[in-house]
């Protein structure tokens, strides 16, 4: 029998974390693989215009934004597996619809249907059901890495698959990956019950506070703008490589591979500096400023292949840095017991930004060409920089969920006692979960005192 306090993940926990990471990766691959190719290959579709191409790029984000939180709540009521299966089938059906479409309208409809499979919250909740408390952060980190890796792979594999099989073939591959994800879900261990967990799911009680939290709203606005810029840029950059760089569309893969690899390595020192020196505000403001500089660079100097490649390396360095930093900042800023809700609102903002960015980017290109897209993105960056400038340095804390005994729950002063432990900055007692949610500064925490109090 597995020791419930073991420092090692059990075989079933490892299988669950690995399987759900793959489900996430396959789904995000399907979302992202079309980004570098839709602006170029999509123009061959009947009725295609730059504005409609932009809508096709961002359409999935609109339904994701609307259904993200409701799907999570439905999984609490009807079970994780039914909601996940329905979401994956919707995703596969949307991909099949786009694959069989010969018009841009059909592709847009397929992308909207793909987005309706908004299962992120349900998958995270299932992960909580299948892992023990001490391993949950590790399991969630595995999913986070799978999402980042899937984006990088999609930027390279998307153009290669489209060159080999066409846009229709790319969507069929996407449908197949969604169905493969459903098969993986079927092989996972079965949870004994649903864990009510505020770190990985939305709590209605915390929603109002989250929507009124100024620092969280700054970060939500940031991820909205970041993904709006990403989608708008993927309307413009593939076309810029063809028009300004004279690079055939079936050779774009090496540009994305170069930019992503150098950008990933380039962001690491800044992440280490921000966390070690506790200067994440400075790092974030610097990255947003760099993103603004990249958009101005594309506008003013993006008139040759190598100039575009240099700009894209800098762009993806700043993008990767922000994409990695913002979730960490949400975790730091969210109040005790509010992380899951804060992440739910954050994800909704992210997908809303993707939808708006694709639509606006396509419209700007149709009415003003490449220059107008880059100017529009620069304006968004400047607005984000202005909003972010007022942020405070975040608390450098970690969230913990601590199960409580009946005796501890009976202590009406427990929250105050927890706040008296050195290093504990926030505490919330949730009686119906028999748990305490605390935020701790690990450099200051007296863990022995915390354990004695709970014992």
The answer, yes or no, to whether residue 375 has pLDDT greater than 90, is yes
| pLDDT confidence band for 227 (50 / 70 / 90) | very high
The overall average pLDDT reported for the chain is 88
Q: What's residue 195's pLDDT?
A: 62
Residue range 174-182: mean pLDDT, rounded: 93
Q: Alpha-carbon distance 266 to 263, whole Å?
A: 5
Highest mean pLDDT, choosing among 65-74, 95-104, 341-350? 95-104
| pLDDT confidence band for 193 (50 / 70 / 90) | low
Residue 93's nearest CA partner among 179, 214, 217, 213 is 179
The answer, yes or no, to whether residue 352 has pLDDT greater than 90, is yes
Fold assignment, 11-389: Growth Hormone; Chain: A; (1.20.1250)
Domain 398-454: give its CATH architecture.
2-Layer Sandwich (3.30)
The answer, yes or no, to whether residue 134 has pLDDT greater than 70, is no
| pLDDT confidence band for 288 (50 / 70 / 90) | very high
Q: Which SS3 state, helix, strand or coil, does residue 451 take?
A: helix
Kindly write down the DSSP assignment for every residue of 345-358, as one continuous string: HHHHHHHHHHHHHH
The answer, yes or no, to whether residue 284 has pLDDT greater than 80, is yes
Edge-first strand listing for the sheet containing 398-403: 398-403, 435-440, 424-430
The answer, yes or no, to whether residue 443 has pLDDT greater than 60, is yes
Residues of the chain with pLDDT > 70: what percent? 96
The answer, yes or no, to whether residue 6 has pLDDT greater than 60, is no
CA atoms within 13 A on the CB side of 411: 17
The answer, yes or no, to whether residue 432 has pLDDT greater than 70, is yes
The answer, yes or no, to whether residue 299 has pLDDT greater than 60, is yes
Question: Among 132-141, 220-229, 319-328, whose mean pLDDT is lowest?
Answer: 132-141
Q: What's residue 26's pLDDT?
A: 87
**pLDDT tens string 231-244:** 999 899 999 999 88
Kindly write down the DSSP assignment for every residue of 184-207, as one continuous string: HHHHSPPPSS----TTTS--HHHH
- Check if 11-389 and 398-454 are the same fold: no
Q: Alpha-carbon distance 278 to 328, whole Å?
A: 13
Which residue ranges make up each domain of the chain? 11-389, 398-454
Residue range 417-424: mean pLDDT, rounded: 88
How far separated are the first and last CA of the chain, in Å rounded? 24
Element (H, E) at 139: helix 133-187
The answer, yes or no, to whether residue 199 has pLDDT greater than 80, is no
Q: What's residue 295's pLDDT?
A: 96
Fill in the DSSP letter of residue 243.
Answer: H
The answer, yes or no, to whether residue 3 has pLDDT greater than 60, is no
Residue range 427-443: mean pLDDT, rounded: 85
Q: What's residue 7's pLDDT?
A: 60
> Phi, psi (5° rounding) for residue 436?
-115, 135
Residue range 90-116: mean pLDDT, rounded: 94
The answer, yes or no, to whether residue 104 has pLDDT greater than 60, is yes
What angle (nearest 5°) sits at the alpha carbon of residue 220, between those of residues 257 and 116?
70
Say how far residue 218 (Cα) sits from the centre of its chain: 16
Residue 370's nearest CA partner among 39, 43, 33 is 39
Q: What's residue 354's pLDDT?
A: 93
Q: What's residue 98's pLDDT?
A: 95
Dihedral, 221, 225, 227, 228 alpha carbons, nearest 10: 130
User: What pTM was computed for the model?
Assistant: 0.90
Q: What's residue 84's pLDDT?
A: 92
Q: Which SS3 state, helix, strand or coil, does residue 8 take?
A: coil
Q: What's residue 222's pLDDT?
A: 96
């Amino acid at each position: 029998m597995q020791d419930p306090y073991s420092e090692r993940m059990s075989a079933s926990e490892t299988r669950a974390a690995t399987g759900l990471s793959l489900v996430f990766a396959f789904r995000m691959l399907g979302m992202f693989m079309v980004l570098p190719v839709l602006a170029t290959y999509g123009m061959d579709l009947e009725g295609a215009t730059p504005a409609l191409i932009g809508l096709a790029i961002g359409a999935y984000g609109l339904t994701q934004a609307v259904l993200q939180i409701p799907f999570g709540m439905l999984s609490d009521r009807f079970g994780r597996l039914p909601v996940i299966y329905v979401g994956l089938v919707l995703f596969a059906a949307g991909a099949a619809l786009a694959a069989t479409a010969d018009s841009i309208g059909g592709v847009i409809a397929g992308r909207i249907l793909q987005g309706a499979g908004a299962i992120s919250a349900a998958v995270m909740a299932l992960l909580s059901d299948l892992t023990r408390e001490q391993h949950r952060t590790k399991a969630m980190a595995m999913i986070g890495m799978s999402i980042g890796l899937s984006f990088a792979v999609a930027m390279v594999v998307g153009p290669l698959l489209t060159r080999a099989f066409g846009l229709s073939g790319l969507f069929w591959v996407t449908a197949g990956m969604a169905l493969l994800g459903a098969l993986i879900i079927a092989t996972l261990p079965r949870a004994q019950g649903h864990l009510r967990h505020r770190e990985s799911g939305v709590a209605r009680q915390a929603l109002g506070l989250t929507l009124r939290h100024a620092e969280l709203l700054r970060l939500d606005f940031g991820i909205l703008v970041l993904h709006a810029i990403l989608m708008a840029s993927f309307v413009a950059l593939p076309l810029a490589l063809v028009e300004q760089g004279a690079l055939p569309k079936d050779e774009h893969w090496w540009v994305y591979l170069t930019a992503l690899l150098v950008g990933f390595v380039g962001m690491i020192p800044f992440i280490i500096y921000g966390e070690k020196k506790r200067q994440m505000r400075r790092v974030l403001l610097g990255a947003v400023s760099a993103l603004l500089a990249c958009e101005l660079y594309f506008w003013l100097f993006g008139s040759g292949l190598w100039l575009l490649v240099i700009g894209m390396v800098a762009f993806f360095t700043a993008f990767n840095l922000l994409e990695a930093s913002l979730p960490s900042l949400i975790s730091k800023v969210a109040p005790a017991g509010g992380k899951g809700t804060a992440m739910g609102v954050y994800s909704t903002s992210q997908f809303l930004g993707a939808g708006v960015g694709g639509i606006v980017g396509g419209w700007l290109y149709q009415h003003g060409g490449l220059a107008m897209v880059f100017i529009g993105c620069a304006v968004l960056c400047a607005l984000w920089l202005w909003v972010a400038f007022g942020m405070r340095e975040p608390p450098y804390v970690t969230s913990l969920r601590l199960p409580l005994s009946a005796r501890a729950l009976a202590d009406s002063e427990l929250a105050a006692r927890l706040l008296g432990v050195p290093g504990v900055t926030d505490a919330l007692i949730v009686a119906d979960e028999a748990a305490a949610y605390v935020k701790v500064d690990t450099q200051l925490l007296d863990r022995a005192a915390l354990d004695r109090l709970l014992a």
